[in-house]
Structure 1
Amino acid sequence: MGFLSKFKQGLKKTHSKIAEGLATAVLGKKEIDESIEETLEELLIEADVGIDATQELLDTVTEKISRKEVGDLDAVMRALREKVVEMLSVSKESHILEDSRKPLVILVVGVNGVGKTTTIGKLAKKFKNEGKKVILGAADTFRAAAIDQLEIWAQRVGCDIVRHKEGSDPSAVAFDAVKAGVARGADVVIIDTAGRLHTKENLMKQLEKMKRVIAKVIPDAPHRIVLILDATNGQNALSQAKEFQKITGITDIVLTKLDGTAKGGVVIPIVRQLNVPVAFVGVGEKEDDLIPFNVEEYAESLFE
């Protein structure tokens, strides 16, 4: 299955809800009236497109759709699709897989339960498929399950892992992982972190300390700080992104569980409000279900 097919599969719930709702609203209509606008507004907000983006999309439909096209669902969807591409094209692309710094040090952050450890495993596999040597750092030392899960992924992918016992200092793990990366000639070092956002001050201190000790080994590292968000959280994912942006800064976003939600529109406010690129989206459980984000494919899958 190609990336576009996977995108479409991943956004199926969001797309179906919008397409079905709109088809009913425009049926037999001669002009864009209040009922069409209200329906579209409701559908976009339910898809977590956000209030500002929803208003822009509504304005586009009322401006671009001529009287003869009102009852034509394809014309309405095309106008929405083109506007989304325009809205998201201002965002820079991620290019994380092409980053040639060696070893490339990636710090992965996100609250518990968003699929962080699984995403790290899938990301490691992507780099491995590019012929790169990868080392994982199990610095979420508060949860034994996270360390064990990362170990399983390391075995599955065929890469080294640096781990300490549960309750160890996360910064010590990060330091050792980067040192190992340099010593073993690794291309990429990916470090897992704890995700307890409710203890925000502690998390901030912990991440700052991690960044400091990593920089002792490689002065300009970590090179990438990747935030993992769960698409099923909708607008809450946007709030989390803003918090992490404040706490540690973010260079890339990975949006997981896009296939499990009708809130796939949340990509739009996340990209626009943070101006941080979405590197990948997760559209399933399999190892290859982490796919590169592409603006055109996203817009097409949402408003086909």
Structure 2
Amino acid sequence: MFSFFKKKPKVEPAPLPETPVAAPATPAALPPAAAPVTAVVAPPTVTPTAAVEVAPTATAETEAEIVAAPVAAEQKRSWLSRLRTGLSKTSSNLTTLFVGAKIDEDLYEELESALLVSDAGVEATHFLLNALKKKVKEDKLTEAPQVKAALRTLLIDLLTPLQKPLVLDQHQPLVMMIAGVNGAGKTTTIGKLAKHLQAHNQSVLLAAGDTFRAAAREQLTIWGERNNVTVIAQESGDPAAVAFDAVHSAQARGINVVMVDTAGRLPTQLHLMDELKKIKRVIGKGMATAPHEVLLVIDGNTGQNALTQVKVFDDALGLTGLVITKLDGTAKGGVLAAIATNRAIPVYFIGVGEQIEDLQPFDATEFVDALLT
């Protein structure tokens, strides 16, 4: 597997090695990737109800996957190939513009259309076009490949602020609250993240806080069994109470990471958004500094609607990171430029398929090269 997370050594920060270490790094205070999440003052009292713990079922296959060796160069190339395939529609629209093109207003107009079609949005498109025209003039670029290379540099510069690692070992336990609309791949993403966390020697506990969608608890339980992870769940009840129980259980057991699944909802469903805020407040009652990460899972096929989701969920919860899934098929990819321009929240992971290895850390250079090759 790739290296997904950043840990803090005792003296100076250093990137996580390619090969997982035998034991987690010593906890240390690190600057958060985004604005810190704080508990709302005077949250309502919630008494946790009896929770049902779904016991994990270990299998030889699961154990083998957890201790798998770091990904080989061939597998890395496979991931990049899948990413290019997923973004091929946007890539073809952009790259064909520069084949034998003259550097004139017609080229800029076609580029503007291609960026808008890719869901980059008006603001990001105008920013990129203005910056590109300025660079062409200042550097006296006259050939289409030179202009394409200049666009690549501008896109990488725009997206690089989104490229930040998910930091481990700064809290014990690290409490992560996972949100997203129905169909974004939220529960599946939680299962994949659990596997990757285990590969970095992190013990994991899952909280089945999605009591709204039918079979959501069962789906999370299946992932728990696959990963040999305990799931805190209830047959029915208050999702905030489930989250509260999970935090206290993790503290008692010395678990490294708690991931709280929440019910998928549209940003326009105000009563459900209020429930999300309640879950966050109640998690803060269970652990004063929690939740430490509030992640939003976004379907890469939703285009500009994804930007709307980011804004609304960020305003309600204070997002610390994003996971963008389903960057294959009809995905356009330009929405990352829109996010970078309007609400530069770190993109921790991107996904192109259903397999564990199809969820990888976001790398701005790799992503832009997939768009322009």
TM-score calculated relative to the size of structure 1: 0.90
Instruction: Name the aligned partner's letter for residue 69 of structure 1.
Output: E
Contact 1:32–1:62 (Cα < 8 Å) also in 2:
no
CA gap 1:125/1:28 in 2 versus in 1, 3 angstroms: closer
Match among 121, 135, 146 for residue 216 of structure 2: 146
Question: Aligned partners of 2:134 and 2:366: how far apart in 1?
Answer: 24
Q: Secondary structure at the match of 2:269?
A: helix
Give the C-alpha shift of residue 21 in structure 1: 5.3
Instruction: Name the aligned partner's letter for residue 143 of structure 2.
Output: E
Q: Match for residue 206 of structure 2? A: 136
The answer to whether 1:95 aligns with 2:165 is: yes
Contact 1:102–1:188 (Cα < 8 Å) also in 2:
yes
Give the C-alpha shift of residue 213 in structure 1: 1.8
Question: Aligned partners of 1:22 and 1:209: how far apart in 2?
Answer: 47
Structure 1 vs Structure 2: percent identity of aligned residues? 43
Q: Secondary structure at the match of 2:349?
A: strand
CA gap 1:52/1:129 in 2 versus in 1, 3 angstroms: same
Give the C-alpha shift of residue 5 in structure 1: 4.6
Q: Match for residue 212 of structure 1? A: 281
Is the helix fraction higher in 1 or 2?
Answer: 1
Question: Aligned partners of 1:36 and 1:203: how far apart in 2?
Answer: 46
CA gap 1:57/1:212 in 2 versus in 1, 3 angstroms: closer
The answer to whether 1:123 aligns with 2:197 is: no
Give the C-alpha shift of residue 90 in structure 1: 3.7
Match among 126, 137, 144 for residue 55 of structure 1: 126
Q: Match for residue 255 of structure 1? A: 324
Give the C-alpha shift of residue 294 in structure 1: 1.2
The answer to whether 1:202 aligns with 2:276 is: no
Q: Match for residue 6 of structure 1? A: 79
Which stretch of the first structure deviates more once superposed, 110-119 or 80-89? 80-89
Q: Match for residue 106 of structure 2? A: 35
Give the C-alpha shift of residue 63 in structure 1: 3.7
Q: Secondary structure at the match of 2:170?
A: coil
Which stretch of the first structure deviates more once superposed, 108-117 or 97-106? 97-106
Q: Secondary structure at the match of 1:264?
A: coil
Q: Match for residue 177 of structure 1? A: 246
Question: Aligned partners of 2:194 and 2:294: how far apart in 1?
Answer: 15
Question: Aligned partners of 1:87 and 1:190: how far apart in 2?
Answer: 30
CA gap 1:107/1:57 in 2 versus in 1, 3 angstroms: same
Question: Aligned partners of 1:95 and 1:13: how far apart in 2?
Answer: 23
Question: Aligned partners of 2:123 and 2:77: how far apart in 1?
Answer: 27
Give the C-alpha shift of residue 210 in structure 1: 1.3
Question: Aligned partners of 1:7 and 1:50: how far apart in 2?
Answer: 25
Q: Match for residue 45 of structure 1? A: 116
The answer to whether 1:226 aligns with 2:295 is: yes
The Cα offsets for residues 87-106 of structure 1, whole Å up to 9 and x where unpaired, read as: 12344x43225343111000
Give the C-alpha shift of residue 80 in structure 1: 1.4
Instruction: Name the aligned partner's letter for residue 158 of structure 2.
Output: M
Question: Aligned partners of 2:210 and 2:164: how far apart in 1?
Answer: 25
Question: Aligned partners of 2:132 and 2:196: how far apart in 1?
Answer: 39
Give the C-alpha shift of residue 187 in structure 1: 0.2
Q: Match for residue 69 of structure 1? A: 143
Match among 227, 231, 247 for residue 161 of structure 1: 231
Question: Aligned partners of 2:90 and 2:280: how far apart in 1?
Answer: 43
Q: Match for residue 150 of structure 2? A: 79
- Structure 1: which 5+ runs fail to align? none
The Cα offsets for residues 65-87 of structure 1, whole Å up to 9 and x where unpaired, read as: 446413x3xx3332111001111
Question: Aligned partners of 1:15 and 1:56: how far apart in 2?
Answer: 23
Could you say what the CA RMSD is over the residues aligned between the two structures, in angstroms?
Answer: 2.0
Which stretch of the first structure deviates more once superposed, 107-116 or 44-53? 44-53
Q: Secondary structure at the match of 1:233?
A: coil
CA gap 1:94/1:165 in 2 versus in 1, 3 angstroms: farther
Instruction: Name the aligned partner's letter for residue 274 of structure 2.
Output: K
Q: Secondary structure at the match of 1:203?
A: helix
Q: Secondary structure at the match of 1:227?
A: strand
